[in-house]
Amino acid sequence: MLDDAGEQFVLRRYLDDPPSVEELTDVLAKLGLEPWEITRLGEPVAAELGLADRPRERAAWIRLLAEHPILIQRPIIVTDDGQAWIARDEESVRKAIAG
């Protein structure tokens, strides 16, 4: 959809280039979400880590996401104006394109 809209973007392969704790903290602020809200709890590693029962301690969850990026919901679009969306559906992508 971004290509079709003529938007320029940088694709980051988060498994090859995981985000840092600082980057995750920044994107969470832009999303207005907590780390557990962008965590893929259905991943096997989430079960291995016992995330369903883990206390909602923000810093610990951010570190877990940095250490296990497969747990991060994707794709996340961050625009130049500082807005961010989890773009799992067409409506979210359209909002990101519209700015």
Place of tokens 């903290």: 25
Q: What is the pLDDT of residue 99?
A: 64
Amino acid residing at 59: A
Q: How far apart are CA 92 and CA 15, in angstroms?
A: 22
Domain for residue 65, yes or no?
yes
Asked if 38 and 31 count as a contact pair (C-beta separation under 8 A), the reply is yes
Asked if 40 and 49 count as a contact pair (C-beta separation under 8 A), the reply is no
Domain span including residue 47: 21-98
Comparing 44-48, 53-57, 82-86, 95-99, the range with the smallest average pLDDT is 95-99
Domain for residue 86, yes or no?
yes
pTM: 0.86
Number of structural domains, the chain?
1
33-73 pLDDT, tens digit per residue, is 999 999 999 999 999 999 999 999 999 999 999 999 999 99
Asked if 35 and 86 count as a contact pair (C-beta separation under 8 A), the reply is no
Domain for residue 28, yes or no?
yes
Domain for residue 13, yes or no?
no
CATH number, domain with residue 41? 3.40.30.10
Domain for residue 44, yes or no?
yes
